[in-house]
Structures are given as C-alpha cells and as structure tokens.
Amino acid sequence: MNPLSAVRQALRRRYRQWIDRRTQPESECYLNHRRLYILPSKAGFGFLALVGALWWLATNFENNLIFMLCFLLLALFVVSIHFTHGTLSGLRIKPVRAQSVFKGDAAAVELSFSQVRARCREQVLLRFAGGEPLMVTLEKAGDTFVTVLAPTTRRGFLDPGLLTVESVYPAGLLRVWTYIHFRFDAAVYPAPLSDRARTSDRRGSGEGHYSGTSGSEDYVGLKTFEAGESLRHVAWKQYAREQGLWSKQYGDPVDSRVWVDWDEYAGMDTEQRLSRMTWQVCECDAAGKVYGLRLPGTELSPNQGLAHRQSALRRLALFGIDDEGGAADETP
Amino acid sequence: MKRPDWQLSRNGLFWVLFAFAAVILLHLDHLPPWVTALAGLCILWRVLEYRGRVSFPPWPLKAVLVIGSVAGLTLVYPSLLGLEPMLSMLIAGFGLKLLEMHHKRDAFALVYLAFFTAAVDCIFTQEIPNFILVLVTFVIAATALVSINQSKSRGFSMSPSYTALKMMATAIPLMLALFLVVPRLGAFWSIPMPKNQAQTGVGDTLSPGDISSLVGSDKLAFRVRFDGDVPARERLYWRGLVFSQFDGREWRQADFYGPDQPILSRGSDESIVRLGEPISYSLTMEPTNRRWLFALSTPTSSEPGIQRIRDSRLVSVDRIEQRQNFTIRSWLDYRLEPEGLHPYREEMERHLPPGSNPETMRVARKWASETPDVEALIARVLQLFNRSFIYTLEPPLLGTHAVDEFLWETRRGFCGHFAGSFAFFMRAAGYPARVVGGYLGGEVHPSENFVTVRQYDAHAWAEVWIAEKGWVRIDPTAAVAPERIEMSLADLFDNEDGFLADSPLSLIRFRDFEFVNWIVLQRDYLDYAWATWVLGYDQRQAEFLKRLLGQVSMFRLILLFLVAAGISLLPYLVKWLIIRQRVKLDPRDAMIQIFCAKMARAGMPRRTGEGIFDFACRIAAERPQLENEAMAIATTYINQRYDKRFPQQINELRRMVRRFNAPKRFE
C-alpha cells in the first residue's frame, strides 16, 4: 500500500470521527447554514480551470472583454455558492416510519421533506452509509414523502447511521451536503440462523414437547379468518366457492403449544442464541403454530398471528438493550 | 461507486446542442466552411441518435473523422499554432465529442468548451453588438450547465434558463468589482493575432483619387477626448502621413530609416520650436493595421510604444491591430524645422521626376521668376484655385500628366488633387513642398469635449518650407471651397452621389431629422464610452480606482467587494426577510403541539412518527387516568382536521387542551 493512501485513509478516519462528534442523533432536522457543508465539486474545479484559461487568454491578448467574461464566470462560481446552498437550505427533514427487518436486510425508511414555499430542489441525493443512493426532486410546498433503504448491521433499535443528504443543483459546480443521524423505533431483528439440524434431531428422539411441523392429521374444523392469521391456513376451497373467508384449524391447540426457549441453546454466545431463536420463531409462525418465547427475565405467553410474531421478534431484537435505545455494544 | 446521476438528462442534451450551435454561429466568419459543416453534421447526428434514427457512430468512422479533421486543418493552415487553427480544432473536437456524449461528465467538459470558444470571439471583434451575442451565448451555455444538473426524466424545458439568468444577474455586481480591481498583467508571450481584414483609412501612398474613395464610408477612424475645450474646427488638422516622395503619379512617405534619421530618439527636440501652452487629449484609434497615429501638430506623447518622427508625427512601434488609446499633448503654435532641412531631406522635398507634367513646370518657373517672394507666390496660386476650380467628389479621370491635366484642363477635383498639384507646383517653382494626409475636423460633441472622426473626414493638404518659418501648412482646398474647412463633409456633400456611397443605410444620411441626429450622437458617445471604459480600462485602472476609493488600500478594496456582494444578494435578503415572517401554524396543529408539550412535561413525550391517535392509545395504556381526556382530544383533533363533515369548532379543541392537565407519574 502506498504511503499516500495510508495518509488519505487516516484523514478520512479523522474526518469521520469529527463528523460523528458533530452529528448527534435527533428526531427532526432543519437544514440551514449551521449544518450544511459546501465545497466545490469535481466539475467545480474544472470550472475554475476554465476561469484560469480565460484569464490567461485575456492577459495574453490584453483583451478587457475576455477579462470581463472571465470575471463573469468567476462571479458565477461565487454566487452559485448561494444558489447551491439554497437547494438544501430551508428544508425540514423528519423521519416518518421505518420497517422492522432482520439484520442484514435493508430497512425501508420513510422520511418527510417539507418546505414552506414551493421551490424546485432538484437532484437531491439521499444515502445511508453503505446503502443504495436515491435521487429525489422536491417541488411542491408542504411534505414530500420519500423512502430510502438503509442497510442494517446490528440488531436492536434501527439505527441506520448517518444519512447523507446532498445536491449539486443548480450549477453543478459546488456540492452542498449534510449528515443527519436519525434513530427509529423500529427494531432490527437478529439475523435468523437455521436450526433445522437440531429440530430434526429432537423429533427423532420422539420426546419433543412440541408436535411435528404441521399436524395436518389433526384437522379440527373451520373458524372465521381473522386478520393476522397465517395465509397458509386459509380455507381456499371455501373461499373459492364464495362461502366466505375461513381458516382451517388443526390439532389440539394445547398439544401444539411450543416454547422457543433461551435455555434450549445453552453453550452458545448470546447472538448465536438469539439468531437461532429468531429462526425458530419464524418457523413456528410459518407453520401456524401457537408458540411462546422465553428469555431470561421475560416470557411471552404462547399465541399466534402477525402481532405475536412481531412482539416476539421485537423482544429478541431488543434483548439486552435498554429502552432508551442505547446501543447494545456487545454486538459485532 | 457510480453516482445514480451520471447519465446526461434529455434537457441537458438539448441545451448543450444549443450552446454548441450558438458558438458555431458566433464563429461562422472565422471557421473554414468544412469545419462548420462537420460541426453541423455532428449536431444532426446527435439529434437523430437521440430520436433513435441512427445508432452511435462506430469507432472506425470516428477515427476517420478525427484523423480527417486534423489532416484538413494542417492543410488549411500553414501552422497550427495560430488562433484560428486552434479555434477550428476546438470546434471540430467539440463536434466529435458531441457524438459520444452520454455522461454528465462529458456534458460539463463541452459546456466549458462552449464558454471558452465563445470568449475567443472577443479577440476577433470587440464591438458592442458582438459582445452582446457573446453574452447571449454565455447565457445559453449557463443554461446548459443548469440543465445537465436537472433530473434525467425532464423533457425539453426553458426553466433552466430562468435559473441561469437569475444566477448571471446576481453575478454581475461581483463581476464589475472584479473587473475594476483585478490588476492586469502584461502579455506573457505574443500569439499571432488573427489575420486581419484589409488595412483601412488613409493609406501610405496618395494618388489623386484616393481620398475620395474614403468619402464613401462612415466608418469610425478615431475618437479624441480633449482635457479642455475642443479647439476651433479649422485647427483640427489630424496629421497622419507626410508624403515627401513623388514619382509623377503617386505621392509616398519617405523611408523611416533614411540617412537623415527621421525617428527621433527620446528627448531630442532640436528641430521644433514650440510656442504657447500645449493642449492634451486622448486619442482612441480604431484598428488600421498600420503604424501611424493621427494627431494635431506638434504632438508629443510619453507612452512607451510611440516614436516621434522628425516631420512632427507620432508612430506606434507596433501596428494598431486593436482599438487603442494614446495620451497626447500638442502645441498648436510651432515652428517646424525653421533653421533648415537636412540636405538629404531637402533634396527629397524638392525632387520632381524629370519630364513630368511639362506645362506645370513651365508655368511654375515663369511665376517664380515673376513673383520672387514665396508667400506672394503661394497667394497667387491659391488665387488661381479660388477663381476657376470646382471642388467635387466625382472628378473626371486624369491621364499620365495628371497635374497638367488637372491644373490647365479639367479643373475639377477633390482635396487630394488640390494638395498634390499645389505641392508639385511649389516644387516646380523651386521650394521644398510636400503633401500631408490625415483627417480634417470631425464631429464635435457639444457637451463632452469629444470629437468623432470618420473616414469621410479624410483630407489632404500641403506644407511648404519657408525660411525661418519652417514648414507652413497650406490647404489649397480652403481656397477652392472654404466651407470644407468650416463644415464637415457630411454637411457639404449631403446630396452628392459619391458621399457615403458604400453605406447606403447609414444613419448619417438622415441627420437632418433631429431624432436621427440625436441617435447618432448617442451611439457615438456610447461607442466612445465603451472604447475608453471597457476596452481600454486597463490604461485607466489605477487612476479610476483612486478616484473611486479615494485611496487604494486593502481595506477599501475589501469594502468594495462587500458592497458588490451586498448588491448581488439584496433581492434575496429582502425575500428572506419577508419569508421569515413565520408561516402561521394551523390553529388545530398548534393546539396539538400544546397537548404534546404538556404530556412531555408529564414524562411521556410523543414519539417520532407516532400518530396522534396512537399516542392517545399509548397514554390510555400507560396512564389509564388520562385515557378519556387524551382520547377525546385525539378524536376531536382528527375529526376537525381531516374530516370535512365535522363543523370547524376550534374552540372546542382549544378548551379541551387548555383544561387538560397531566400530572407526573408517581411511582
């Protein structure tokens, strides 16, 4: 590695640290001169080279008109600081909602951009560190809602890191940008880690206190479908005959109760355990089982449905993380 | 990582093409036709490519085009280092680059090239209309710059040009400040100027018909601003050339490097006696591609690029290829070489080709013996002119012995005829005499102390050397047509065919109308101000800055820039102040904000992104004693804010929020 790039990396690291210190988590932000950074873009340096070339031309030909044109461009560069700054300045950005996802998936984060007056702000680039960039154009007064994908790297509350908002509009000569740190109430679930081997092991031993995967032999009857129930259990035949939306009931609810239990996974580190438990919750939910969750100090009584799945996953996600959203620093 | 906006927007493509077309139109005169054709073809191809009619040119074709253009340029131009070949190369390159312009990056480069090539046009011409065209091209290029930064999806629109104009307008005060302040360095090295156009103005030879051909043109010759009052019109003899050599047909200038050393070294002044006070003025010459200046006798100038000639003239060291300013002082009363002439010079000033114009020779010798006093002889010749000659713009053509024919047969002529035959006559009578070419008078602008001299003011007169008096100006035209001296040719020959024959639409033809006359005067003045304040600003920069700032110090210069920036940003400041008057919050939203603030104080802030109803539910769950009030406030707010069927009863909501009181949780 050449020494220059080492220097560059060091500088970049220092810069990151500085930015991190400056950018505190916030619940909404108003962009103004205090937090907007502005510097010439690559094209801007090219433009300055053009100004230099014109100056050379004017000097060499002792031509005052070319001097005037040269200064016009230089002045254009200077005033474009004002205009480029105006592309972001006066914008209010608020997080609206974020989707809970498994660690490693990109979370869709909805943001609202509001401006008091209609002002054309073109080509505003939004990007979470490591995420897909998104280009938006804001034109109307009031709120504009934008969904940005944020990569997730640790479980807990969704903390997508710094959101970079930048633009080079209108002249492209300067780049104005800012970093925003939003926290969300949404959770990042642990990445599910397949535990199929263990599960089949258990079944082989024949002493599992939860029943097989589907329990299809224990078909009991139909009951009205409730929102949140697994679609796998919908009685599609009846639905197709236009007899209404029913869900099929299998087996004895008491018999198919399952516990996803922390103690089952002894001997692994916390994240491993949580990942496997997450997988287990997903499996149980997919199979339409009634399941409960046991974590040290907390227990979620057995139930089923979307809401139950979410609260189970949320508990797994926030396990060991205090309610105020402080980071779980033991995570990688 | 590639930014998502690397692709060129459609609108950007359009405007870059416009900018390129504008640049080509600007340079139409300076490009070989095939370069223009190539550029046009490239634009056409790019448009067809955009519409999907043709595909991108394959690389062999591009290679052939590039090699072909370079080869073509080397064939057309002897050297590729001049301005014109470089310009052609840039334009050809621009066109070829257009064919493969897909990225924003390329578009930026092309827009910069458009700015540059448009600016180059100012080297060729510096007239106001031309500069306006360059500015228009700049606006188009700036629009292209804005449009390439727009979203990709936009179709053609004019909107970026408003943005560009707004930016340009904001930039102007700053530009002026920079223009005033930034010091100009001299040229680093000289680049051959574009091959000019013909030489204009009074030429370095004079044959009888020459001056009358100039009378056809109302083109500007030069302008003069006097520091004091403008001298009387009959003293405004702008001497440019002295014709000392006669070959029987044509008068020519003497060699600058003759044995009498006509070029005076700095400070040597022995041959001129200057009387009275000098007048000073600044002369703004139009490009003539010649070296001589037109000044009142006897002139001096302290400017570095100017040489003085023994016959009381100023000559620029370099050809005058651009409009140029000179500061000159002249003594209108003088004796030029009163003590005698250099022998070589005297020989030249008396010389006549043998056998030329025999009749004139005979008469001159006869008159000289009859009238030995030179001044009496001059008076006698002028009397002859006065009595039987006619001053006209369209004299009959003359044969071999032009002076003979003119003096004794046709007797109709123009100033060149009179001056030439007079000088010939005096030489034939044995006195040193010569013809002087230049301009007479000019248009005096009443209020501004300034004089505009046009080509039709061209004039020729004679000088005769008289012992102890030196060279004395004799204007035989004055004897024939004294009114020529007093009025301008425009007034004299208003209706004659030869006058302004080359400029059929000249406004000067219609000066009888008060209004047209006013326009002509204003145009002249604008042109003059342009020449001195813009084109020649570098020559007066130091003086002007001193006058503007009182004293040129860093502090005051910075102040100047701040003032300029203030003027630029004033409209935006005003707008900002107006906007700052806060936008009134909807009263219902304001109530909810109060409600949330109360809850926050009670230790239960509303979460980011939490709907008001969700918030109320959370309150109900966590603080059951507040459930009723919170739910009532939330539902009332929602109904009033979003359900049009509910009557607008803000007071109801206001009362509820006012009454609402959330105690801190006791645990």
Same-domain check for residues A159 and A225: no
Identify the bridge partners of residue A148 per DSSP, sorted by sequence position.
A109
- Residue A267: strand, helix, or coil: coil
Same-domain check for residues A195 and A123: no
Measured from the Cβ of residue B270, the count of other Cβ atoms closer than 10 Å reads 9
Q: Is the pLDDT of residue B37 over 80?
A: yes
Q: Is residue A272 part of a domain?
A: yes
Mean pLDDT of B132-139: 94
Cis peptide before A170 (omega within 30 of 0): yes
The chain B residue lying nearest A54, using CA atoms, is B116
- Residue A205: strand, helix, or coil: helix
Share of chain A above pLDDT 90, in %: 14
Q: Is the pLDDT of residue A213 over 60?
A: no
Position B84 scores a pLDDT of: 83
Q: Do A50 and B112 touch (CB under 8 A)?
A: yes
Q: Do B151 and A125 touch (CB under 8 A)?
A: no
For residue B159, list chain A residues with Cβ-Cβ distance below 8 A: 120
Position B194 scores a pLDDT of: 52
Picking from A53, A79, A185, the nearest residue to B608 by CB comes out as A185
Determine the residue among A61, A110, A139, A173 to mutate to test chain B binding: the one whose Cβ has the most chain B Cβ atoms within 10 Å. Answer: A61
Q: Do A63 and B146 touch (CB under 8 A)?
A: no
For residue B579, give both structure tokens.
């906007």
Same-domain check for residues A229 and A322: no
B44 contact partners, CB below 8 Å, separation of at least 6 = none
DSSP symbol at B337: S
Strand B458-466 to B450-454 pairing:
unpaired
Structural contact between residues B137 and B21, judged by C-beta atoms closer than 8 angstroms? no
Mean pLDDT of B293-303: 86
Position B487 scores a pLDDT of: 63
Q: Is the pLDDT of residue A202 over 90?
A: no
Measured from the Cβ of residue A55, the count of other Cβ atoms closer than 10 Å reads 18
Q: What is the interface size between A and B, counted as CB pairs within 8 Å?
A: 169
For residue A124, give both structure tokens.
């505003």
Position B211 scores a pLDDT of: 64
Q: How confident is the model at residue A40 (pLDDT cuts 50, 70, 90)?
A: very high
Same-domain check for residues A243 and A316: no
Q: Is residue A73 part of a domain?
A: yes
DSSP symbol at A182: E
pTM value? 0.69
Helix crossing, B627-642 with B587-601: angle to 10°? 160
Q: Is residue A129 part of a domain?
A: yes
Position A219 scores a pLDDT of: 63
Residue finishing a domain among A225, A250, A275: A250
C-alpha distances out from residue B661 to B77, B91, B211, B496, B649, Å: 91, 76, 103, 102, 21
Same-domain check for residues A56 and A114: yes
Same-domain check for residues A166 and A305: no
Please confirm, yes or no, whether B475 is among the known catalytic residues: yes
Position A323 scores a pLDDT of: 54
Strand A246-250 to A257-261 pairing:
unpaired
Only one residue has tokens 């009025």, namely B487
Cα dihedral A64, A67, A69, A71 sign? negative
Same-domain check for residues A172 and A300: no
Q: Å from A55 to nearest chain B CA? A: 10
- Write the pLDDT tens digit of every residue in A228-258: 677 777 777 777 777 777 777 665 444 567 7
Mean pLDDT of B389-404: 80
Residue finishing a domain among A188, A205, A227: A188
Average pLDDT over chain A reads: 79
DSSP characters over B255-311: PTTSTT--EEPTT--TTEEEES--EEEEEEEPP-SS-B--EESSEE---TTEEEETT
Position B20 scores a pLDDT of: 92
Only one residue has tokens 């002002």, namely A119
Mean pLDDT check: name the lowest of A33-37, B161-165, B506-510, B613-617: B506-510
Mean pLDDT check: name the lowest of A99-113, B27-41, B387-401, B620-634: B387-401
Residue finishing a domain among A250, A274, A298: A250
Mean pLDDT of B176-181: 88
Q: How confident is the model at residue A187 (pLDDT cuts 50, 70, 90)?
A: confident
For residue B61, give both structure tokens.
């074709």
The chain B residue lying nearest A89, using CA atoms, is B576
Domain that holds residue A224: 216-250
For residue A98, list chain B residues with Cβ-Cβ distance below 8 A: 609
Position B393 scores a pLDDT of: 74
Q: Å from A193 to nearest chain B CA? A: 31
Only one residue has tokens 């004091």, namely B228
C-alpha distances out from residue B142 to A290, B15, B163, B343, Å: 67, 9, 9, 67
Torsion of CA A291, A292, A294, A299, to 10 degrees: 170
Q: Is residue A31 part of a domain?
A: yes
The distance in angstroms from the start CA to the end CA of chain A is: 27
Position A220 scores a pLDDT of: 61
Mean pLDDT of B391-396: 77
Position B493 scores a pLDDT of: 57
For residue A75, list chain B residues with Cβ-Cβ distance below 8 A: 171-175, 178
For residue B185, list chain A residues with Cβ-Cβ distance below 8 A: 59
Mean pLDDT of B258-283: 78
For residue A114, list chain B residues with Cβ-Cβ distance below 8 A: none
Q: Do A62 and B126 touch (CB under 8 A)?
A: no
Q: Å from B186 to nearest chain A CA? A: 6
Higher pLDDT, B355 or A69: A69
For residue B118, give both structure tokens.
């448009």
Q: Is the pLDDT of residue B441 over 80?
A: yes
Which DSSP helix (H) or strand (E) runs through B316?
Answer: strand B313-316
Q: How confident is the model at residue B199 (pLDDT cuts 50, 70, 90)?
A: low
Active-site entry in B415, B417, B445, B457: B415
Mean pLDDT of B110-131: 90
Q: Å from B152 to nearest chain A CA? A: 9
Most confident stretch, A14-23, A87-96, B163-172, B341-350: B163-172
For residue A168, list chain B residues with Cβ-Cβ distance below 8 A: 149
Picking from B122, B583, B609, the nearest residue to A66 by CB comes out as B122
Q: Is residue A6 part of a domain?
A: no
Q: Is the pLDDT of residue A218 over 60?
A: no
Which DSSP helix (H) or strand (E) runs through A127?
Answer: strand A121-128
Structural contact between residues B49 and B55, judged by C-beta atoms closer than 8 angstroms? yes
- Write the pLDDT tens digit of every residue in B304-344: 888 888 888 888 888 887 778 888 999 888 888 888 888 88
Share of chain B above pLDDT 90, in %: 14
Mean pLDDT check: name the lowest of A213-222, A250-259, A294-303, B523-532: A213-222
Q: Is residue A280 part of a domain?
A: yes
Q: How confident is the model at residue B507 (pLDDT cuts 50, 70, 90)?
A: low
Instruction: Give the CA count within 13 Å in the CB-facing half-sphere of A93.
Output: 25
Position A1 scores a pLDDT of: 56
Rounded to whole angstroms, how far apart are CA atoms B449 and B279? 12
Q: Is residue A17 part of a domain?
A: no
Same-domain check for residues A175 and A34: yes
Nearest to A178 by CA among A115, A127, A238: A127
Picking from A64, A97, A125, the nearest residue to B537 by CB comes out as A64
Q: Is the pLDDT of residue B99 over 60?
A: yes
Rounded to whole angstroms, how far apart are CA atoms B200 and B213? 11
Same-domain check for residues A179 and A93: yes
Q: Do A79 and B170 touch (CB under 8 A)?
A: yes
Only one residue has tokens 């109801």, namely B652
Total number of domains constituting chain A: 3
Same-domain check for residues A183 and A194: no
For residue A181, give both structure tokens.
């740190």
C-alpha distances out from residue B215 to B200, B208, B461, B490, B494, Å: 12, 13, 16, 9, 12
Cα dihedral B615, B616, B621, B622 sign? positive
Q: Is the pLDDT of residue A6 over 80?
A: yes
For residue B381, give both structure tokens.
């010749």
For residue A61, list chain B residues with Cβ-Cβ distance below 8 A: 123, 187, 191, 193
Give B137-197 as a 3 state SS string: HHHHHHHHHHHCCCCCCCCCCCHHHHHHHHHHHHHHHHHHHHHHHCCCCCCCCCCCCCCCC
Please confirm, yes or no, whether B417 is among the known catalytic residues: no
Position B119 scores a pLDDT of: 93
Share of chain B above pLDDT 70, in %: 88
Determine the residue among A56, A64, A74, A144 to mutate to test chain B binding: the one whose Cβ has the most chain B Cβ atoms within 10 Å. Answer: A64
Mean pLDDT of B497-525: 68
Length of chain B: 667
Length of chain A: 332
Same-domain check for residues A157 and A234: no
Picking from A95, A123, A168, the nearest residue to B609 by CB comes out as A95
Higher pLDDT, B81 or B411: B411
Picking from B5, B178, B569, the nearest residue to A123 by CB comes out as B5
Higher pLDDT, B285 or B494: B285
Q: Is residue A83 part of a domain?
A: yes
Please confirm, yes or no, whether B404 is among the known catalytic residues: no
DSSP characters over B480-513: H-HHHHHS-HHHHTTT-TTTTTT-TT-GGGGTTS
Residue A320 amino acid letter:
G
Structural contact between residues B389 and B422, judged by C-beta atoms closer than 8 angstroms? no
Position A212 scores a pLDDT of: 38
Q: Is the pLDDT of residue A265 over 80?
A: no
Rounded to whole angstroms, how far apart are CA atoms B312 and A254? 126
Cis peptide before B298 (omega within 30 of 0): yes
Q: Do A57 and B189 touch (CB under 8 A)?
A: no
- Residue A178: strand, helix, or coil: strand
Picking from A60, A66, A80, the nearest residue to B167 by CB comes out as A80
Percent composition of chain B: helix, strand, coil (DSSP 3-state, to 5): 50, 15, 35
Q: Do A46 and B108 touch (CB under 8 A)?
A: yes
- Write the pLDDT tens digit of every residue in B218-268: 778 888 888 888 888 888 899 988 888 888 778 888 877 777 777 777 666
For residue A67, list chain B residues with Cβ-Cβ distance below 8 A: 179, 182, 184
Mean pLDDT check: name the lowest of A14-18, A96-100, A260-264: A260-264
- Residue A115: strand, helix, or coil: strand
For residue A79, give both structure tokens.
């005033």
Q: Is the pLDDT of residue B505 over 80?
A: no
Same-domain check for residues A180 and A291: no
Mean pLDDT of B374-390: 88
Q: Do B151 and A28 touch (CB under 8 A)?
A: no
- Write the pLDDT tens digit of every residue in B564-615: 888 888 888 887 777 666 566 777 888 888 898 888 888 888 877 788 888 8
